[in-house]
Structures are given as C-alpha cells and as structure tokens.
A and B are shown apart, each in its own frame.
Chain A
Amino acid sequence: MSTIAGTAPRGQTRRRIRVDGWRWAGRIFLVFMLLYTALPMIWMLITSIKSGFAAMQFPPQWWPDEPTLASYQKLLDPQNSVGQDFLRFFWNSLFVSTVTTILSVIVAVPAAYAFSRFRFPGRNFLFFAVLLRNMFPAVIFLVPLFILMRMLGLVNTHGSLILTYLTFGLPLAIWLLKGFYDNIPVQLEQAARIDGATRFQAFILIVMPLSTPGIIATAIYSFIGAWNEYIYAYTFLSKNEQLTLPVGIQRFFSENTTDFPGLMAASFMMSVPVVVLFLVLQRYFVRALTEGAVKH
C-alpha cells in the first residue's frame, strides 16, 4: 500500500521536465532555514572546545587552533568544585524531571480517558478549563504559589517544583492523551465488556496497551518541559545544592561572566538528554502534538 502511494507522485514529478520555480524556491528556503537553525548550535560546539583565551579573540578563530575538551572535563570532574556543582545540578534536574514525568502519566491517563469517553455534565467546561490553563503565564502564579509553598513548608524543596510542574504539565498531557484515546475504537472495549470484563479491566487490558505511544509521547513532553523549566525553579529554590540545571548554570555564569567555553559546554550538556530523547522518540513526539489539534 504505502509503496504504491509513495511511488505514484514520484513518477509524476519525473515526467515533468520543465524547471519548477516553486520547488527551487523551496530548496533555497530550506537551505536558509538550515543555516539559521544549525549555525548557532555549531558555533556553540566550536566555542565549547576552545580555551578561554582562544574564545576571547577578534577576529574569532573559526576553528580552534588547539581544540581542547578542558571545559567538558572541568564540568564532569567530581573532584573540583565546578564539576561537583554541575553534576549535582544535573542529578537534581534528572530527579525532578523523572518524578514529574511519572506522576503526570499517572494523573493524566485516567483524566484523558474520561474526557475522551464519558459524557458527564460539565465535561466540556472542564476540558476547556484544562486548555485555558495553558494560556496563563507562570508569573501570575508565582507570588501566590510562593506563599502557598511557604505555607506547605515546601520552599527550597524539590517537592515544590514537582507539584508545580505536575500541575502545569497536566493540561498539555491530558490534551495529548485525549487525542490518542479518541482514535481507539470504542468497539474494542465494548467487545471486552461483552466478554465479561469490567470497565476497569477493559481499560487496563485493552486501552492501556493500545495507548502506549500516546503515553510515551506524554512522558517525553513532561520530561522535556520539566527539564527546561526555569522561572519556578529560579523563584522557589535558593540553596545551591538544590538548584536544577537552568538555574544552576545561570547562577554559576553570572559569577564567571567571561568563561564562554565553559558556558557553551554547559549549555551543550544541558541539551544532550532532551535532544537525544527527542531524536530517539521523534515519531511519537511529533505525532502526539498534532493529534490533538489536527485530527484526521
């Protein structure tokens, strides 16, 4: 099926000999976008393998005369204080993001399922309330949340971040998952229930396995969102040993303003986990985002 569908348009394009102006425009445009996207990242990598002295030159060395991994060694060496801090921030980010991800999935799965399947009064209202939450900026919630966290005794704990990320990740998570549940035929569950399964059994045994791609996608979104979050972590945490990566890096480099190779190396390493996660699970990631908005 797919091969036939794939070859048909290709045959058509080959038959057309006349130069297609739109296609060339598209190619040139893509080259431009590739440069715009990739060059900053390439420059980050090149800078990160320079020495501090080599980075501060004008005109810049386009490729470092003496490439060095010193910045990376410094960041990853648990013996020196920079490495100690960096690895701790890394671990904190990993911990907060992982716990947030697991909790998000646990809370979002039943909610999304209900939004997709049941027709209870207030369902639409609730669903739009969920979506509307997405619209409000963190700043609106910062002051009251800060006070709330103080009341709960959670300031300066990772618990405050996990609770906040969980809440703010939920609308998107529910939205994404609902898209997946909408695409699972109800008949499957009905068949299971005719065979004597309870609604819950049908959900666990039939729906859950089928929605695995959706759950994976939701998990990646929660993880990346929590990993990259800055403003709450910046406000709720003040103790150095609890900072997550974005805040930790900012703290560190507001003190060492000239260590650009170190900063670029840190930025690179901060990006590695999410980029790898994204590249490996790209399929689910892209599909999930579009499922909610663009249903087929």
Chain B
Amino acid sequence: MTIVTGKAEARRRLQSGRSGVLWKMWEHRADYAYVLPAIAVMLIVIAYPIYYTIELSFFKTPPGLQLRDKIYVGFDNYTNILTSPVFWKVTWNTMIWTLASTFISFVLGFGSALALHRDFIGRGVLRAILIIPWVISAVAASYIWKWIYHSDFGVIGAVLVGLGLADRPPNFIDNVSTVLPSLIVVNIWREFPFAMIMMMAGLQTVPEQLLSAAKVDGASAWQRFWHVTFPHLSSVSTVTILLLAVANFNSFIIPWIMTGGGPSNASHIWITHIYELAFGRQLWGVASAYSVLLFLILMTLGYFYVRALSGNERKEGSA
C-alpha cells in the first residue's frame, strides 16, 4: 500500500511539475510562432542529417549510393579509422592547420585593430582594403594564390630568384614539407580581417577614462595595454578565437581547390579527407563515422563556445 501511494505521489508530483512547464509553454504559445519558421527549416535540414549520419556510421555501404543494401557492422568503421595511419596523419595536419591559422590570424588581426584604433588620414580606406580578402570568395582566393605559388611562373618564386635567394623557383604546393605552411598563409590572408573587425569593436568598448587615469598615474604604453586594454578585451578575444578555431577546423575550400589534399596526404585535413572518402571513394559508412568523431570534437569546442558566450551575457546582466 505504502509503496503504491508513494508511487502515485511521485507520479502526481511529476505530472504537476511537467504541467507547470507545459502551462508555461501554453501561456507563451504565441511567442513560439515567431521562432517556428526558423525551427521548422532547421529541423528538416539539420536534425535529420545528424540522425542519419549517426545511423550510417554503423553500416558498411556498397559504392554507388545504393544505401538500401547497407550491412550492419557495429563499431567496425570506428576501429578501422582509429587504427589507420592516415587518420593520425590527417589529424596532425588538422591540428597544425587549425592552431597556426587561428593563432596567427588572431595576432595579425588584433595588431591591425590596435594600429587602426588611433585616427589618422586614410584610416577608413586602409581598413576597407584590409577587410576585402575576407569578403571575396575562397575559390577566387585559392586561384589567386595558386597562381602566385605557381612552380614555373609564380611571382613569389620569381622574386626569390631575382633577389638571389633561390637558384630556381621553389615548388611550394607540390612539396610535402612546404605545402601545409603555404596553404596556411592563404588561409590567414582570408581570416585575419575577421579577427580585426571583432577586436576593433572590442577596442571601442575600452573606457577612455581608465586609460587616461592610468596615464596620469605614469603607466607606460605597454603597461596601459597589458593592465587596462587587454583584460578588458578578454571575453571578445575568447569568442573571436573560438569562432576562428571552429572556422579553421571546418575549412575545406582552400586545401580542396589548391591541392586536393596532396601531395601524398600532406595537405589533407579532416574535412577534405571526409569529403574524399564519401564522394571520391564512396565509403559512406566510414565517412559518416569520421563525421561523428568530428561532431564529438566540435561539441567539446562548442561547450566552451557557449560558456564563453553565456559568460558575456552574465557580465552584461550584472553591469
């Protein structure tokens, strides 16, 4: 008896709790109408693909997208990936690519923002020019740089030969050891303006009074930067770095167009590798398993992203 009443009690409590939320949702029913179009589109195009990718990662799929004939293989795809040497090569490339691109883009962008913070003649024009690489298509950027790096007629090679730094034009992108750094230079070219814009906006929020107070107290330019400006920008910097890291981790176009991952996987990063597995070799199951792993990594990054963002909001609320 007591057990039954205990259960009933619990159920009642559960129901009332749930109906509390439901009641609240019902009270706000009109509000959902505003969000509904966005949610509906995203459910179809985002939720379904994620579910499907997870499902497919447990199957072996014959080529040709005849996905009805897929065979269940459990975790085989995962173990195959984690034991293959290509996986570790590509992971290493991805780490170098993401860390180097993110760090250097941020430093160059932050530096430009600082240098552009003070008013001078032509500041607007200069700022506009520096942002242009970010606006133009990555495909166009890839072709421009591919031509600059060209092994016979590339302008960088010609300059190096002209200055006597090389006997013959170096081969930048058909060389296992130079290809990744060369592509990172292109990526930074496109990415640093983003960091610059974000940090420029951040700089505008640094209170002038604090800076002049520090000056009156005899702080040097470096001290003012390090003790006033920089701490003030910590949350903007976090968000910027995270956004850059995610974007770089997800890069595809530049390596794909410029090298296609070659020579001998030296410029393959995760995304290009997954693409090749799926659409080049039609290994849908393996590619899906890769995607799920990628997903997990991104969720981890995403956790920090959300935390950084909600940290911002909290600070704002208290201010």
Contact = CB atoms under 8 A, between A and B. Distances in A.
Interface stretch (A64-72, A75-83, A160-168, A186-194): A160-168
Given A139-B274, A230-B138, A47 B147 contact: yes
A138 B252 contact: yes
A106 B302 CA distance: 28
A275 B132 contact: yes
A133 to B, nearest CB: 6
A205 interface: no
Contacts of A113: 34
Contacts of A9: 118-119
Given A26-B114, A118-B34, A274 B135 contact: yes
A254 B100 CA distance: 30
B246 A120 contact: no
A185 interface: no
Interface in B94-146: 108, 111-112, 114-116, 118-119, 126, 128-133, 135-140, 143-145
Nearest to A108: B38
B90 interface: no
A256 to B, nearest CB: 12
Given A227-B137, A271-B140, A294-B202, A167 B46 contact: yes
Interface stretch (B6-14, B78-86, B176-184, B287-295): B287-295
A168 B44 CA distance: 12
A17 interface: no
A63 interface: no
Nearest to A149: B45
A120 B27 CA distance: 9
Contact of B143 (A6, A130, A264): A264
A96 interface: no
Interface in A87-140: 107-108, 110-111, 113-115, 118-122, 126, 128-140
A232 B205 CA distance: 38
Given A34-B129, A121-B21, A141-B46, A267 B153 contact: no
Contacts of A26: 111, 114-115, 118
A60 B302 contact: no
Contacts of B246: 134-135
A204 interface: no
Interface string B245-266: 0100110110001000000000
B148 A40 contact: yes
A282 to B, nearest CB: 6
A33 B202 contact: no
Interface in A35-70: 36-38, 40-41, 43-44, 47, 55-60
A9 B240 CA distance: 28
A279 interface: yes
Interface string A273-290: 011001100100010011
A107 B37 contact: yes
Interface in B174-196: 189, 192
Given A40-B189, A134-B246, A33 B108 contact: yes
A216 interface: no
B219 interface: no
A136 to B, nearest CB: 6
B298 A136 contact: yes
Contact of A114 (B21, B35, B309, B316): B35
A23 B221 CA distance: 10
Interface string B277-306: 011000010011001001100100110011
A93 to B, nearest CB: 10
A250 interface: yes
B35 A111 contact: yes
B162 A137 contact: no
Contacts of A167: 41-42, 44-46
A29 B115 contact: yes
A41 B252 contact: no
Contacts of A279: 128
B169 interface: yes
Given A56-B153, A108-B38, A114-B31, A37 B139 contact: no
B42 A267 contact: no
A47 to B, nearest CB: 7
Contacts of B316: 295
Contacts of A15: none
Contacts of B128: 279, 282
A275 B136 contact: yes
A143 B278 contact: yes
A278 B132 contact: yes
B56 A143 contact: yes
B173 interface: no
B69 interface: no
Contact of A294 (B114, B144, B205): B205
A23 B116 CA distance: 10
A293 B198 contact: yes
21 contacts: A10-B119, A30-B115, A33-B108, A33-B112, A37-B129, A108-B38, A111-B38, A120-B25, A135-B301, A135-B305, A140-B53, A143-B288, A148-B45, A163-B45, A167-B44, A224-B135, A228-B136, A228-B138, A230-B252, A286-B131, A286-B200
Given A30-B115, A231-B253, A286-B200, 9 more contacts: A41-B132, A58-B153, A120-B24, A132-B306, A139-B271, A167-B46, A228-B136, A228-B137, A246-B139
Q: What 8 A-B pairs have minimum CB-CB distances, sorted nearest first?
A: A290-B201, A114-B34, A144-B49, A137-B250, A26-B115, A120-B28, A144-B52, A267-B140
